[in-house]
Amino acid sequence: MSTPEILDIMRAGLWAAFVMTLPMLAAALIVGLVIGLIQALTSVQELTLTFVPKLGALLIVFWIAMGFMAATLTGFFHDRILPAIEGV
């Protein structure tokens, strides 16, 4: 296996990781912005007010997106890793 092939597999792995984490990162961003806006409007500066809703949103989004993340990971494994192992 040559260096460009290894780098291509690494690039594809990083892209798969980015795609799998994108729903959870987007949920954390949206919830953080909404809670930050509410805190700015009401002048309530409580740390747990940002932590608990973000944690809840992340758990819900993770539960909803588990099938998508598993499909992405198994697709990466079958499309990139297994052919690289078989080609060795």
- Rounded to two decimals, what is the model's pTM? 0.78
pLDDT tens-place string over residues 27-68: 999 999 999 899 889 888 777 788 898 999 999 999 999 999
Model confidence at 87, pLDDT cuts 50, 70, 90, reads confident
Question: What does each C-alpha distance from 40 to 27, 30, 43, 88 come to in angstroms?
Answer: 20, 15, 5, 58
Q: What is the CA radius of gyration of the chain?
A: 19
Give the count of beta carbons closer than 10 Å to the beta carbon of residue 68: 13
Tokens 């890793």 correspond to 81
Mean pLDDT of the chain: 92
Residues in the chain: 88
Give the count of beta carbons closer than 10 Å to the beta carbon of residue 8: 13
